[in-house]
Structure 1
Amino acid sequence: MNNNPIYKNPNSPIESRIKDLLSRMTLSEKIGQITQIDRRVATRSAIRDLSVGSILSAGGGGPYEKATSSDWIDMIDRFQNAALESRLGIPLLYGTDAVHGNNNVYGATVFPHNIGLGATSLCDRDAELVRRIGVATALEVRACGAQFTFAPCVAVCKDLRWGRCYESYSEDTEIVRNMTSLVKGLQGQPPQGHPKGYPFVAGRENVVACAKHFVGDGGTDKGINEGNTIASYDELERIHMAPYLDCISQGVCTVMASYSSWNGRKLHSDHFLITQVLKEKLGFKGFVISDSQALDRLSYPFGSNYRKCVLLAINAGIDMVMVPFRYELFLEDLTYLVESGKIPIARIDDAVERILRVKFVAGLFEYPLADRSLLDRVGCKPHRDLAREAVRKSLVLLKNGKDPKKPFLPLNRNAERILVAGTHADNLGYQCGGWTATWMGASGRITIGTTILEAIMEAVGETTDLIYEQHPSQDTFANQDFSFAIVIVGEGPYAETMGDNSELVIPFNGAELISSVADKVPTLVILISGRPLVLEPWLLEKVDALVAAWLPGSEGDGITDVIFGDYEFQGKLPVTWFKRVEEAGKNSSEPLFRLGFGLTSNREGHLN
């Protein structure tokens, strides 16, 4: 064998390197590259001897709880060194769910979830804020050794009952399209004249991005996660597919298929949409990855007749399969299907070419191991300042005073006595939401950050008496004369199907708490949620001011920056706020608040 193969020469054209490497690969090595496994089942022998192409850490999938970025590097480099020991030395692509910052890693900066960033769109039409968030996220991902993030989600959420609503930027396709600037932040800006559809990664401080979930996941009937989107092809293209055009034009490297169906056809087995539309019509040259255990969902019961599921998905155009656990069975079944001629070798070669293209573009063959000089970027002050800015710009002021001539906000930071109450006042986990530290998120101090209560304590004057009670008693009001109250309530953390909700009431008896406080003290309510929640007219009348803060992430001081008047409210609703939950999936002519609504502190509003 040539001691200096073309594929190892960084000066050779990428397509020549792909062709050379592919010609040297056995069927077993090709199938290994198509396979992505969970780090919990990854062994040195599996990686080295089976040529596994990719490993992932799912939500919370670090080396152990509250592992540092240095621990992450040690883990990922250990896996990578095993890959480099394989016959051809093809490096791994390590993926992680960094969907609002590098949220799996303890101490990383946690940015607002996408729905909050969508609220910034109307005041940031060039989406520069989101691009900068992409840059910061990429740095914090690379600083921990990973090179691949399963973001951005470019779903257009058409039903707020959907459990992934907060992963969507908006119900409006144009707002979602605007927010695809995250791709340029994550991967870098492609040069002028970059070939259409060809993947792009600027350098070692950038990551491979993934546009997901192709296609129509935000439009399922009744907002059921993994459900069925009923739409004509024209509707699918105009509403749900349009953001993918923008991602592809920015050189997005990968696209993830959706668990959901289109008119009853499972996306993971839809040759028309994956191959004929995405790859051929739209010209996408990167690779298509499955969602986790998505192939198991192609049969009923779950995981049965697995060989047929593999056949359907690979022939439909899935290039890399997020297995992620039963990889021995996957390898066995895919090998049989190719050797028996049921899956053409040309389909396997196409998948492997696409995977290798992304690896070469990302520079993995030249720089497979982590750059430890980036370690101090994880949770650094500039990134936290950026997250704080994002929180400020995402806040939507829905009500400001019972009398139009007497705005309630901004609050007086030097007030004599302030009451802070509510389940979400001092809970960083609730503040960050799902996909933080773990898949579902969790309650409590799950990472490093500033709770809203801590931010209020820092913001108020030295002479102000601040009282915090999560659930104030009657004695609290009997014995104290409060200038005003800040009540902070909302949803607990959730992800995916666990977040599907047909009622959308404020949990933890939030409405009752608001009512009991607002009956006694002038009250600002800050709602922490991944979507609009039911606000009964009687409740809305009682409160003096109402702010939708979405899921703001680790920097709670972005909220106090605005409510105490250091900055103006700028956010506008990225979704329509319904009067009744039954309107959540419909176009109501008289919603509670329209798409694009948002007051400023001087009560000027904006309607789209």
Structure 2
Amino acid sequence: MTQHTPSQTFIENLLSEMTLAEKIGQMTQPEKNSVKKGDIARFSLGSVLSGGGGNPTENNPRNWREMVLGFIEESQGSRLKIPLIYGVDAVHGHNNMFGATIFPHNIALGATRDTDLVRRIGRATALEVAATGVRWDFAPAVSIPYDIRWGRSFEGYSQDTQLVGQLAAAYIEGLRGESWNSPSSVLPSVKHFVADGATTFGSSRRISGDPNALQNDATLANAHVDASMQALLDLGAWQLDQGNSEIDEQTLREVHLPPYKRAIEAGALNIMTSYSSWNGVKMHGHDYLVNTVLKGEMGFEGFIVTDWEGIDQIDADYYTCVVKSINAGIDMVMVPFKYERFIETLTRAVEAGDVPLSRIDDAVRRILHTKHALGLFENQPLPELEVVGSRAHREIAREAVRKSQVLLKNEGVFPLSKNARVLLAGSAANDLGAQCGGWTISWMGGHGQITEGTNVLEAFKATLSRPELLTYSEDGTTDQRFEVGVVVIAEEPAAEGMGDRFELKLTDAHIQTIQNARAHCDKVAVLLFSGRPYVVTEHISGWDAFVASWLPGSEGQGIADVVFGDFPFTGKLGFHWPYSQQDLQLTPESKHLFKIGDGLTTLKTPVTI
């Protein structure tokens, strides 16, 4: 006779009381704007999420908490009172919420190589997320971006599989804190299973070069992507994201699976499947990789959630999509819009025998196990709202910024004297939105003072010995002469396939701003805000210093910390830096201007006696 733990006994007893309708409700996750009043209790919905930009009308911590707790309270009106779990994309802090601490994106954290720091970032993020009632974070991404034209490259810590696993495990430990059933623990969603960073350029079928597809794409319409679509398609949008990974199984197992193993060892209880395919088979319907490998070989005991509307891409027939995905091991479906259609379709599939009831029970058992592990069935206190954007958390973010700055060239420029006359140029120096990148307040991010934080201009003013030593020029033009010019340039904020590009090169405006500053400065340093390396080979010889600043988030003072020598540059590349546009995809033949591990330091050499 099998002996159950108290947790297993609780779950089995609850499962035995549930109707088929209640079980399927637990497997359903709609987006918050789609949920009709009363439907959480009526359908016993298992989860609700905020998509990118899924914010309350007045975006602040108190309204976030009221919104989330309102959904959770409604779940207590269901027959069995199974608690709802609310999910958000907190991929670099609680980034949809105004006033939250915005940490550097993962590509920057990979450059720190600091597991303790990443663990502390996970803990700070969990506290800010849990303070609003949210207990599920759709992060970390453990992608290995092998083609940096991919718009999600910045969500990957590195192109080094081992480093990705180490940092992902640390982040998961930070989200957990003392234990999973702590009131401030937040469930990580390790994503996107698997090989989402290995897709072949041109294999994405999401838009397929047709701007009119927008009319039939509820997700893009929901994100207000309209007039700009054709311009983005011309730049290369939707070429890689959600495409086909044409790699052999040995590569899949040696490169892309190990971070998931590390995540499971760190206690991960949720994994999100990828939109992408492996050799033509959509991951959302991949029985072998989900059931046999992940749940079988790797012993994953948590539950699998889909990506946003992910099962819809399996087949033109929705019934087939539902049957294939659930039988392939999907446990919860991020619907996110037409949840009644999903519930009706899965009910019909079970009643017809196309989806076994045992598969439904397995899915719900996994969901209930995770909710119980998180202590959601208990009345838990929330962290105080004052933790959101706190000084302590901003200090952690500032530390992450300075440790992630990678100094790639330095010919007598850094560290700058705090008594130097400095020309600061480039619109990005005065643009917090460009500094934060995509997935900040809205899905695509934006420009200007989109949240609370410190931009580079403000940081430099606060650091120089006298404010009048600093002159700011957006385009680099001036009628004065300076010892040094610092030019801050940035790529356009974007997310997912909207950020896919044919080429990664500086714009004419970037080049002109640098040239303008060069004409008036003895030395010129360039700081690049970007979610991936850009090809700079033909330009860098004209610069005296070059820094990969990545997408540092809300705490720009961390940049001033290293520029002016309060701390040394210590960041090291986690990605190879391409030599030319032909080297953007990482292959054995790729040429590199800089390699993984490169990065200069301004540490003073110790004197030996």
Task: Answer yes or no: same fold by TM over 0.5.
Answer: yes
8 Å contact from structure 1 (residues 187, 252) kept in 2: no
Cα distance change on mapping 1:431 and 1:348 into 2, 3 Å: same
The reply to whether residue 271 of structure 1 matches residue 272 of structure 2 is no
Q: Give the CA deviation at 1:588.
A: 4.4
8 Å contact from structure 2 (residues 307, 334) kept in 1: yes
The reply to whether residue 63 of structure 1 matches residue 56 of structure 2 is yes
Q: Give the CA deviation at 1:536.
A: 3.2
The separation in 2 between residues aligned to 1:55 and 1:391, in whole angstroms, is: 33
Structure 2 match to 1:240 = 256
1:78 to 61, 67, 70: 70
Cα distance change on mapping 1:549 and 1:588 into 2, 3 Å: farther
Cα distance change on mapping 1:576 and 1:588 into 2, 3 Å: farther
Q: Give the CA deviation at 1:467.
A: 1.3
Structure 2 match to 1:135 = 123
Structure 2 match to 1:216 = 195
Moved over 3 A (4+): 587-590
Structure 1 counterpart of 2:325, which letter? A
The reply to whether residue 344 of structure 1 matches residue 333 of structure 2 is no
1:392 to 393, 397, 402: 402
What number of residue pairs does the alignment pair up? 562
3-state SS of paired residue (1:98):
coil
Question: Sequence identity, in percent?
Answer: 47
8 Å contact from structure 1 (residues 431, 551) kept in 2: yes
Q: Give the CA deviation at 1:520.
A: 3.3
3-state SS of paired residue (1:105):
coil
Structure 2 match to 1:548 = 548
Structure 1 counterpart of 2:49, which letter? L
Q: Give the CA deviation at 1:339.
A: 0.5
Cα distance change on mapping 1:590 and 1:504 into 2, 3 Å: closer
Q: Give the CA deviation at 1:120.
A: 0.8
Structure 2 match to 1:383 = 393
Structure 2 counterpart of 1:114, which letter? N
Q: Aligned runs of 1:112-511 on 2, under 5 Å?
A: 112-121=104-113, 124=114, 127-180=115-168, 181-188=170-177, 201-222=180-201, 224-299=240-315, 304-367=316-379, 371=382, 373-401=383-411, 407-415=412-420, 417-462=421-466, 464-473=468-477, 476=478, 479-507=479-507, 509-511=509-511
Cα distance change on mapping 1:144 and 1:507 into 2, 3 Å: farther
Post-superposition Cα deviations, 1:79-99, rounded to whole Å, max 9, x if no partner, equal: 111100100000101000001
The separation in 1 between residues aligned to 2:377 and 2:507, in whole angstroms, is: 50
8 Å contact from structure 1 (residues 58, 96) kept in 2: yes
The separation in 1 between residues aligned to 2:590 and 2:282, in whole angstroms, is: 33
8 Å contact from structure 2 (residues 244, 279) kept in 1: yes
3-state SS of paired residue (2:505):
coil
The separation in 2 between residues aligned to 1:202 and 1:513, in whole angstroms, is: 53
The separation in 1 between residues aligned to 2:313 and 2:427, in whole angstroms, is: 37
Q: Give the CA deviation at 1:469.
A: 1.6
8 Å contact from structure 2 (residues 419, 469) kept in 1: no
Q: Give the CA deviation at 1:413.
A: 1.4
Structure 2 counterpart of 1:410, which letter? P
| TM, length-normalised to structure 1 | 0.90
Post-superposition Cα deviations, 1:3-36, rounded to whole Å, max 9, x if no partner, equal: xxxxxxxx97111111000000000000000000
Post-superposition Cα deviations, 1:364-423, rounded to whole Å, max 9, x if no partner, equal: 11036x62x52110000000000000001000001001xxxxx211111111x3211112
Q: Give the CA deviation at 1:589.
A: 5.8
The separation in 2 between residues aligned to 1:25 and 1:507, in whole angstroms, is: 59
Cα distance change on mapping 1:602 and 1:93 into 2, 3 Å: closer
Cα distance change on mapping 1:515 and 1:258 into 2, 3 Å: same
Q: Give the CA deviation at 1:152.
A: 0.5
Q: Give the CA deviation at 1:231.
A: 1.4
Q: Give the CA deviation at 1:468.
A: 1.1
8 Å contact from structure 2 (residues 181, 375) kept in 1: no
The separation in 2 between residues aligned to 1:218 and 1:589, in whole angstroms, is: 17
Post-superposition Cα deviations, 1:49-90, rounded to whole Å, max 9, x if no partner, equal: 01111000111111125x111111111111111100100000
8 Å contact from structure 1 (residues 422, 488) kept in 2: yes
3-state SS of paired residue (2:38):
helix
Structure 2 counterpart of 1:574, which letter? G
Choose 506-515 or 233-242, whichever is displaced more. Answer: 506-515
The separation in 1 between residues aligned to 2:558 and 2:588, in whole angstroms, is: 32
The reply to whether residue 105 of structure 1 matches residue 84 of structure 2 is no
Structure 2 match to 1:194 = none
Q: Give the CA deviation at 1:202.
A: 4.4
The separation in 1 between residues aligned to 2:530 and 2:317, in whole angstroms, is: 40
3-state SS of paired residue (1:203):
coil
3-state SS of paired residue (1:139):
helix
The separation in 1 between residues aligned to 2:526 and 2:532, in whole angstroms, is: 16
Q: Give the CA deviation at 1:486.
A: 1.0
8 Å contact from structure 1 (residues 214, 258) kept in 2: yes
Post-superposition Cα deviations, 1:465-501, rounded to whole Å, max 9, x if no partner, equal: 321121133xx2xx31212111000111100000101
The separation in 2 between residues aligned to 1:430 and 1:508, in whole angstroms, is: 18
Structure 2 match to 1:525 = 526
Choose 167-176 or 509-518, whichever is displaced more. Answer: 509-518
Structure 2 counterpart of 1:252, which letter? A
8 Å contact from structure 1 (residues 211, 244) kept in 2: yes
Post-superposition Cα deviations, 1:503-524, rounded to whole Å, max 9, x if no partner, equal: 1112462123213322431211
The separation in 2 between residues aligned to 1:587 and 1:61, in whole angstroms, is: 42
Q: Give the CA deviation at 1:236.
A: 0.2
Q: Give the CA deviation at 1:602.
A: 6.0
Q: Give the CA deviation at 1:463.
A: 6.2
Structure 1 counterpart of 2:494, which letter? Y
8 Å contact from structure 1 (residues 397, 600) kept in 2: yes
1:26 to 9, 19, 25: 19
The separation in 2 between residues aligned to 1:589 and 1:349, in whole angstroms, is: 49
CA RMSD of aligned residues (A): 1.6
The separation in 1 between residues aligned to 2:152 and 2:425, in whole angstroms, is: 28
Structure 1 counterpart of 2:474, which letter? Q
Q: Give the CA deviation at 1:603.
A: 9.5
The separation in 2 between residues aligned to 1:115 and 1:155, in whole angstroms, is: 11
Identify unmatched segments of 5+ residues in structure 2.
202-238
8 Å contact from structure 1 (residues 490, 507) kept in 2: no
3-state SS of paired residue (1:318):
coil
Q: Give the CA deviation at 1:188.
A: 2.8
The separation in 2 between residues aligned to 1:158 and 1:312, in whole angstroms, is: 29
Choose 501-510 or 258-267, whichever is displaced more. Answer: 501-510
8 Å contact from structure 1 (residues 44, 79) kept in 2: no
Cα distance change on mapping 1:338 and 1:397 into 2, 3 Å: same
The separation in 2 between residues aligned to 1:189 and 1:173, in whole angstroms, is: 27
The separation in 1 between residues aligned to 2:336 and 2:361, in whole angstroms, is: 21
Identify unmatched segments of 5+ residues in structure 1.
1-10, 191-200, 402-406
The separation in 2 between residues aligned to 1:256 and 1:443, in whole angstroms, is: 30
3-state SS of paired residue (1:94):
strand
8 Å contact from structure 1 (residues 414, 463) kept in 2: no
Post-superposition Cα deviations, 1:154-177, rounded to whole Å, max 9, x if no partner, equal: 011111111100000011101101
The separation in 2 between residues aligned to 1:84 and 1:44, in whole angstroms, is: 14
The separation in 1 between residues aligned to 2:261 and 2:5, in whole angstroms, is: 30
